[in-house]
Amino acid sequence: MTALSKRVVLITGAGIGIGHASAKAFAALGDHVVVTDVLEAEGNATVEAIIASGGSAEFHVLDVRSTEAVDALVAGLDARLGGVDVLVANAGIAHKTALPALTDDKWDLTFDIDLKGIFRVARAVAPKMKEKKAGAIVALSSIMGVAYGWDEHVHYSAAKAGVVGLVRGLAVELAREGIRVNGMAPGYIRTAQLLSEENSLGPERAKTVGEIIPMGRIGEPEDIADVIVFLASHAARYMTGQTLVVDGGLLVGRY
């Protein structure tokens, strides 16, 4: 495949949840989507769904903890497809861990994926974006990193708060190069993470948590994906350094 006339959209953690929905949303616009994840079966399934719908996509296994792997993937995309036009840095974990059990290793693992993983991929795609004087980066934070404390998830909340600072710093540094950087802070979204009894609300609490949300329901991955698509679009051309909260009114309704 040679350089494409359509946008090349790189999405991390695109095998499930918000990443999966975002991949399908960009593909529906005619973009070529580079689906990456550590979940090989799920990543391939995302690509298969896109192709079955007439879209364009490819899958690569990628662990964002590896600088070598990130740099190699992006270098290959630069050479083969002409570079990445849109990066959606979505890969993340959220392991429920009470403070007494929160070891240095558990803290470092969350930061390595949820914060440094975004930095690694953004750093890798930036040179080609600078060369083209164009690009959009969307990084996933959370309401837990913007305004909402989450007990037994101190490491997650801290990493997601770090994403907000990373977005601001990158936005200012890259703005004159034609690159926009924005963040997305979802509220309660119906994903595998949210439905995990071990690490989040679990199925039963997910049935009732919508009662505390002004819009009366928890969000769907597509609710977030559509806003990510907006942030990467020409419609958001004068917007950079911002982290949008998309939570059905949860924060403004409770605070």
Query: What amino acid positions are annotated as catalytic residues?
Result: 156
196: its two tokens = 């995990």
Residue 170 has which token pair? 């990158």
Please list, in sequence order, all residues whose beta carbon lies within 8 angstroms of the beta carbon of residue 168, skipping any fewer than 6 positions away.
Answer: 241
> Which stretches does DSSP call E strand in the chain?
8-11, 32-37, 56-61, 86-89, 135-140, 179-186, 243-246
Burial environment of residue 107 by CB neighbours within 10 A (0 to 12, 13 to 18, 19 or more): middle
Which of 43, 143, 132 lies closest to 86 in space, CA to CA? 132
The SS3 assignment for 219 reads: strand
Helix, strand, or coil (residue 244): strand
In this structure, are residues 167 and 88 in contact, taking their beta carbons and an 8 Å threshold?
Answer: no
Half-sphere exposure of 86 (CA within 13 A, CB side): 25
Backbone angles phi, psi at 154, to 5 degrees: -55, -45
